[in-house]
Amino acid sequence: MSTGHVELARAQQERWQTEYARHPHLHGTQPSAAARWAAEAFGAAGIDDVLELGAGQGRDALFLAQQGFSVHATDFSESALDQLRLDAQREGLDDRVTAALHDVRDPLPPADATVNAVFANILLNMAFSRAELRSLVGEIHRVLRPGGLFVYAVWSADDPCSGHWRELADGLSEHDGFAGRFFDDALIDELADRWRLDDTTSYAEGPRRMRRVALAKPNPAS
């Protein structure tokens, strides 16, 4: 895609590759708070398969598989996915977890209206331009079936670090080599255009203030 920060994105991809190669469980092995919540929401909706974007080394993919979901996990770091596959095999979950390299700035592989649920923890707040974010959320809308669910969690604009990181262009900021964006209500609402906005809870996770957002693709038949 030509709408984003190509050099920044390439540098970020290298950075993630390096960090994941150094640390087999960079984000730990416990599931995120958002994954725990999403498992309840997807289960209550009768959903049993999930597409996870920006899955990293798979702490949430493995958790969702342990909860009985079939998970297709993607990330743009091959070294993260290698670890995810290894752990899935070790835990006997490889029949329920598949993994594939994918950069979410490219169109999503699934055909229109074929996916039941999409999950993304701490992905949308990475180094994407606003145009890339709109395009990604549009792609998720395209691949979801009517009534399908999209749950994502991002850094909140309420986080104490927001405003202290080095400012980059387009609302992005940088700290210690990682670029990201802190989400406010205006951006959450902008991305919820064409969706039913079911949840925008604020919560704390480790040192971070987070926002969890649940979107449903409207089903004209209901």
Ligand X SMILES: C[S@@+](CC[C@H](N)C(=O)[O-])C[C@H]1O[C@@H](n2cnc3c(N)ncnc32)[C@H](O)[C@@H]1O
Q: Applying CB under 6 A, which residues contact ligand X?
A: 16, 27, 32, 54-56, 59-60, 75-77, 80, 103-105, 121-123, 126
Q: How far is the CB of 102 from ligand X (least distance, A)?
A: 6
Task: Select the residue whose beta carbon is closest to ligand X and give its number.
Answer: 56
Q: How far is the CB of 220 from ligand X (least distance, A)?
A: 31
200, 213 contact by CB (below 8 A): yes
Cβ distance to ligand X smaller for residue 62 or 216: 62
198, 154 contact by CB (below 8 A): no
| Angstrom distance (rounded) from CA 129 to CA 179 | 11
Cβ distance to ligand X smaller for residue 106 or 189: 106
CA dihedral 42, 44, 48, 54 (to 10 degrees): 10
Cβ distance to ligand X smaller for residue 105 or 181: 105
Cβ distance to ligand X smaller for residue 46 or 160: 160
| Angstrom distance (rounded) from CA 197 to CA 128 | 22
Query: For residue 181, which of 190, 172, 170, 168 has the smallest C-alpha distance?
Result: 172
Please give the C-alpha separations between residue 195 and each of 21, 128, 167, in angstroms, as whole numbers.
37, 21, 30
Cβ distance to ligand X smaller for residue 139 or 195: 139
Q: How far is the CB of 84 from ligand X (least distance, A)?
A: 10
Q: How far is the CB of 53 from ligand X (least distance, A)?
A: 7
Q: How far is the CB of 105 from ligand X (least distance, A)?
A: 5
